[in-house]
A and B are shown apart, each in its own frame.
Chain A
Amino acid sequence: DVKVTQSSRYLVKRTGEKVFLECVQDMDHENMFWYRQDPGLGLRLIYFSYDVKMKEKGDIPEGYSVSREKKERFSLILESASTNQTSMYLCASSSAEGAYEQYFGPGTRLTVT
């Protein structure tokens, strides 16, 4: 089974802090994604990566950056956390062959106070 793990299930940070969310997948997938999930809005794509050191902006990249130094790991960075970044963050991965079938981690519930 594909396993996507995220470093924290719950996280509380203060406004202005730098926040790192880590995601690791164990299936040697080429593609990795970061989404945020908010009630009534579904999943919105923040950033994705289709290869090591490659990154592409999604629909809502403002206030976020990413890092992919190794194939299995994709990090989401909030340079200066704000209260409007309080959300559920979901990481996903997919293979190059089955690119649209994404496998998700359990999510990180981030609260910025």
Chain B
Amino acid sequence: GESVGLHLPTLSVQEGDNSIINCAYSNSASDYFIWYKQESGKGPQFIIDIRSNMDKRQGQRVTVLLNKTVKHLSLQIAATQPGDSAVYFCAENNGDYKLSFGAGTTVTVRA
């Protein structure tokens, strides 16, 4: 069944502010997590990943935090821009090759 979920389905953020998108997972055996971004009319696009032996990983303007104790994953976007408006999905590995996706959070950036 569904094991990955996001706390909030929508998030509105002021341009220039930082965004935090949260995700809870229930499978303690998962050891790999990914964040995807899906813009309107497009397929999901890889943003950043993290393995369970890490608790933080940084990319360009994005940071993923993993708290295995409470099975929580978050994506932080610094200085949010209009181009960051999209649906964001977290996903965890689920057996060989497969991923389980959360329901998604829609981020809207206000000018």
Contact = CB atoms under 8 A, between A and B. Distances in A.
Interface of A: 4, 31, 33, 35, 40-45, 48, 50, 58, 90, 92, 94, 99-107
Contacts of A92: 43
B34 A101 contact: yes
B43 A104 contact: yes
A35 B99 CA distance: 11
A100 B89 contact: no
A104 B99 contact: no
Nearest to A109: B41
A41 B97 contact: no
Given A42-B103, A43-B89, A103 B46 contact: yes
Contact of B97 (A99, A103, A107): A99
Contacts of B104: 42
Given A40-B9, A42-B89, A43-B89, A50 B41 contact: no
Contacts of B25: none
B93 A106 contact: no
A44 B41 CA distance: 18
19 contacts: A31-B97, A35-B101, A40-B103, A42-B102, A42-B104, A43-B91, A44-B101, A45-B99, A48-B97, A94-B97, A99-B97, A100-B32, A100-B34, A101-B34, A101-B49, A102-B46, A103-B46, A106-B41, A107-B42
Given A41-B103, A104-B43, 7 more contacts: A4-B43, A33-B98, A42-B102, A45-B98, A100-B93, A101-B49, A105-B43
A58 B98 CA distance: 9
B63 to A, nearest CB: 18
Nearest to B94: A45
B34 A50 contact: no
Contact of B99 (A4, A40, A102, A106): A102
A102 B4 CA distance: 17
